[in-house]
Amino acid sequence: MKRLNGFLLITAMLLLALPAMVFAGGNAESTTDTAQSSGPIIIGSNSAPRTLNPLYFPSRQDSIVTNMVFDNFVEPDEDGMIVGSLAESFSIADDQVTYTFNLAKNVTWHDGEKFDGDDVVATLKMLAHPDYAGGVDRVDQIVGVDEFKENPEGDISGITLSDDKMTVTIKIKHPSATFLPGLYIQILPEHYIKDFNIGELEKEPYNSAPVGTGPFKVTEWKVGTSISLEKNASYFKGEPKVDSIIVKFGELVALTTQLQTGEIDMLEVEEEGYNTFKDDPNFTLYTYPMASVDYVGFLTGPGRAEDTKGDRPVFNKTIRQALAYATNKDALVDGAYGVTGYAHDSVFPKGTPADSANDNPYTYDVEKAKSMIESVGYTMNSSTGIYEKGGEPLSIEMFYAESSSAQAAIFKEQWKKAGVDVNLKLVDFGALIDVLLRKSDANGNLANSSAYDKETAASDANFDAYLLGFAQESDPDEYAQYFVDDPFWNFYHYENEDVQKWFAEQAVTTDQEARAAILNKISEQLTEDLPWFTYAGKTETIVAGNNIGGLTPDTRGYTMNSHLWYLK
């Protein structure tokens, strides 16, 4: 059930970046200031990493440290476009399947060994190894991977090295827009990988004492207490401006107090912490969007089982759009999220290349919502305040889990003002997923029926609407399964030939700007059709003392540019 990770709003490795918005409790720092101290800079964190191997089920908490220890092969820039890193430049041949990567020169591992193409090849072979179970899928498109899985003692035929080992050429099976973003991974040293037992990667000592090429080296890990790092003076992107960084673990309340007293220098906070520091002139707050959206999902058409065939109000696009106009997003975000959210309109995360500037924002307008409802034959029942058609009230059954309780209550209140009754159905998260993934066969027999035919099974959910969130893990192509003719994941029964065509086109469009234009069309059409009504995104906030300079957090992680940090 790997695909459910999106629902969980857990982002292991995020592709798309957006500059932070700085809210000043003090003054925003200028990176032209000179450092007045050698450090350390102390980061507070209320959750310790599980591992420091970035290719063993990477998590966001791990990345706080690993982003300082390792470098990415390629990575997104501030506009979300893929640019070079350890591969300082790259090109795609006219055949659209041959990629050439020119490696950065003068890069060394923390133990003094030289970085070259052997490290890249070893990393990719580790990911392709039949015994690898580290949760990072990046290599299946490469020519020869299938044969390598049969004989992992050999090579991957689609990967070649130049004689000087500073140019890596990779050939993939067919044109793909997702291959290059998928190489947003951190590279491990070949001279360690060769001794790994890949089938038992979780036991490798390397996981707690990693050797990387990044701006800082791990010097000590006191489990449950702290991780200490010292600068890599020969870092190829420039010598770090501070000598050392310490990541200190503890309870959020205690860490908040330590930030106030100067025992630590920065901390990721939630709303209570935001309110604690927002008016303190000694601190600066950096608030930035995550690569995730929260949305209402609608059933857009009948399914195969008998209980999905009725003429539901939500099958009508005009009704779905009216519900969007009946939603006061600003009030909803203020009431349900506070500073941890923001109003949003695209199915794609805010500010990413796929997020179109031309999406309909569905500006709050109750009267317009009522007019649209009346345009499809509903009349207001003056005694109930609810619209009716044929004696049936305009009622929407909305499923949600506990984490969306505040949002559900606000939707019910707001939509009632437009004459819509909302029947809220609270279920636990697992039960909600079961509702969405309920299956029937080609004859409409449900999975618990004795006549059920598994060979023709497909998702056939019975709902009007539900509340969930989606976190983009690495690439917007992850959305495709929900909006094309997928028998299991398109449980909305959404059909739009243009959207299906565009998703197919973007998947093989390797020019990043051309691909973004196609994704923008998808964003606009989905916002028009509303199988998902996106209403909010999530934010994160870093608080730092005004003695910290060079901090530029974004959705890739706030420690990505740690070599630029300095103490005033």
**Has residue 399 been placed in a domain?**
yes
Within a domain: 353: yes
Q: Are residues 321 and 422 in the same domain?
A: yes
What is the number of structural domains in the chain?
Answer: 2
Between CA 506 and CA 517 the distance in angstroms is 9
**Shared-domain flag, residues 338 and 447:** yes
Angle made by CA atoms 8, 10, 15, in degrees to the nearest 5: 130
CA atoms within 13 A on the CB side of 31: 9
- Check: CB of residue 523 under 8 Å from CB of residue 357: no
308 and 447 part of one domain: yes
SS (H, E, C) 264-329: CCEEEECHHHHHHHCCCCCEEEEEEECCEEEEEEECCCCCCCHHHCCCCHHHCHHHHHHHHHCCCH
Q: What is the CATH number of the domain that holds 131?
A: 3.90.76.10
| Helix (H) / strand (E) containing 512 | helix 512-529
Last residue of a domain, one of 188, 203, 218: 203
* pTM higher than 0.75: yes
Q: Helix 512-529 to helix 497-506 angle, to the nearest 10 degrees?
A: 160
Q: What is the CATH number of the domain that holds 387?
A: 3.10.105.10
- 48 domain-assigned: no
Confirm whether 554 is domain-assigned.
Answer: no
Start-end of H helices in 378-495: 405-417, 429-436, 480-483
Given 203, 235, 254, which residue is the final one in a domain? 203
Non-local (6+) Cβ contacts of 430 within 8 A are none
Residue 166, domain extent: 71-203
Q: Among the three residues 186, 203, 220, which one is the final residue of a domain in this structure? A: 203
Q: What is the pLDDT along the chain (568 residues), one digit of tens a residue?
A: 233 333 333 333 333 333 344 433 333 333 344 444 588 999 999 989 999 999 999 888 899 999 999 999 999 988 788 999 999 999 999 999 999 999 999 999 999 999 999 999 999 999 999 999 998 889 999 999 999 999 999 999 999 999 999 999 999 999 999 999 999 999 999 999 999 999 999 999 999 999 999 999 999 999 999 999 999 999 999 999 999 999 999 999 999 999 999 999 999 998 999 999 999 999 999 998 888 999 999 999 999 999 998 899 999 999 999 999 999 999 999 999 998 999 999 999 998 999 999 999 999 999 999 999 999 999 999 999 999 999 999 999 999 999 999 999 999 999 999 999 999 999 999 999 999 999 999 999 999 999 999 999 999 999 999 999 998 877 899 999 999 989 999 999 999 999 999 999 999 999 999 999 999 999 999 999 999 999 999 999 999 999 999 999 987 889 999 999 999 8
Cβ(497)–Cβ(529) below 8 Å: no
Same domain, 344 and 445: yes
Tell me: do 163 and 297 sit in the same domain.
no
Q: Please tell me whether residues 339 and 464 are part of one structural domain.
A: yes
- C-beta separation of 535 from 551 below 8 A: no
In a domain, 450, yes or no: yes
Query: Is there a single domain that holds both residue 459 and residue 356?
Result: yes
